[in-house]
Structures are given as structure tokens and as C-alpha cells.
Amino acid sequence: MTIPNCLLLYAELKAARVLFIVRMAMRVCRVLEVFRMGTINYLDALKLQEKLVTDRKARKISDTLLSLQHPPTYTLGKRRTDYNLLVTESELQSMGAELHYTQRGGDITFHGPHQAILYPIISLRDIGHGARNYVEKLESTMIELASLYGVKARAGQAGEMGVWVGERKIGAIGVRISSGITSHGLAFNIDPDLSYFKHIVPCGIADKEVTSLRRESNETLPAEEGDDSKRCLSMSLDGFNPNFAYATWCLREHCKLLEKQPRHGLLEFIWASR
């Protein structure tokens, strides 16, 4: 091997070592940025997720968690199983509900007030997780959350998605992974209006009941929307962080989304305190 080739090999090995050290340091000192969004329109949240995914791929931002609730909304996954919608779209509109088609995995589901909805925008490569392990972590997040209120939940068995209490579904999962970056996420039923689920075959599983934490627990749960938003986030983090083990997380409280150009050009959106 010639001297120039030796020097080139040495430089490549040194660069690889530096990259390895940087990646290990990122795993040890991982920071999660958490935004409590309150109630936000589904399409606004989707647009935000898409921009955050782009920025996370470019490493312009750290791992991010959106905690929010939606007005009554039905979404279909990329399999487009319209037959699991039991009413017409016009009937949904008359109920004040929206219908949207998405690129996430999973079947049809409902999003609404008094759910704990989490959309993690995180790098699976940085934390060394595959898709299946990631979904299991989301399941464990909801199982842990339920256990804090004395409710014994379990992951779905063969043919079942999400999290269950006995034969009753309490939490749904639908994710999208692009170049190792996640979006969409989970919806855990704190105390939603369960009648909305009568208009669909939830997650494509027929003859199964949907339940909520309030129905299964004797604990006092929040009723006011403002308290609900805070409590849902607190409860969600209690379940989320033990499963993903971030060294620290930065909470952005009382935030709203403004469609303006940011000062530093990081996002097409900025966060401003109310």
C-alpha cells in the first residue's frame, strides 16, 4: 500500500471514529423537545409534522414530541379501508367531524377532545430502534400510563393493534417512518365521547368495544379543557419517557402555532406564548 493510500485510510478511520463518538454522545445526552399544543386542527398538525420531519432529517432540530388534541376527526391510514367507515362523509360533516386520508400505517380511527395524542418526531437510528421495537415502546407508553391509574392494559395480540383493557380497546397506534424519522403516533382515550366510535370499525377490528381511562378507572380525571391539556401531557410524559429514556426534556408550555416566518429560518412556523 502506498503512503498516500495509507494516509487516506487513516483519515477515513479517524473520521469514522469521530462519527462513532458523536453518535454515542448523542445517545447518552439525548434531549427531547416537548410542545403542549392544546386543541389544533388535524391538517395544521399534519403540515407541522411534515416540516418537522424534514428538519429532523437535516438535523436542524432535536427529537420533538407534540402533545395535543384534535376537534372530532376521523383518519384513514394508507391502506384506504373506506369500508370501515359506517356513515357517509356528509353525515360526518353534519356531526361537526372531519375525515382525512393519511400516509400513516393502521386503519381508520377517531381523534377528538379528551384524548392524549402524541406525535413523536424522533430519529430511530439515533436511538437504535427498529420499527417493531418503536411500536412496542408506544404500546408500553400507554400501558404504563394506564397502570398509573390502576388500570391493567395489554398490547394487542394477533390481529389486534394498539392497547387493550381485556377485550376493550383503550389506545390506538398509527405511525409513519421515513428515512428513520417517525411521525404520527398514538391516541390514548382519557375521557373522549365514545359515541364517535360507533360510526367506524375502529382500526378495522369488528365486534370489539372501545373504552376510556375514565370508564376503567376510579380515579378523578380532568374535566376542563385547559386542565385536560396539561394533565394529558403530564400523564403522557409519565408513560413516554421511561420507555425512551431521554436524558432531559424541554417543555414549551402554553404555546400556539402561528403561520409566520421564523426569525432564524428553522421552521415555517413559530411558537409564541399566549
Are 67 and 95 spatial neighbours (Cβ–Cβ below 8 Å)?
no
> Sign of the CA dihedral 178, 182, 183, 188?
positive
* 255 flagged as catalytic: no
Reference 30, options 65, 73, 58; nearest CA is 65
**Phi and psi of 36, rounded to 5°?**
-90, 110
Q: Which of 203, 232, 250, 255 is catalytic?
A: 203
DSSP bridge partners of 74: 99, 110
SS3 string of the chain? CCHHHHHHHHHHHHHHHHHHHHHHHHHHCCEEEEEEEEECCHHHHHHHHHHHHHHHHCCCCCEEEEEEECCCEEEECCCCCHHHECCCHHHHHHCCCEEEECCCCCCCEEECCCEEEEEEECEHHHHCCCHHHHHHHHHHHHHHHHHCCCCCCEECCCCCCCEEECCEEEEEEEEEEECCEEEEEEEEECCCCHHHHHHECHHHCCCCEECCHHHHCCCCCCCCHHHHHHHHHHHHHHHHHHHHCCCEEEEECCEEEECCCCCCCCCCCEEEEC
Catalytic residues: 203
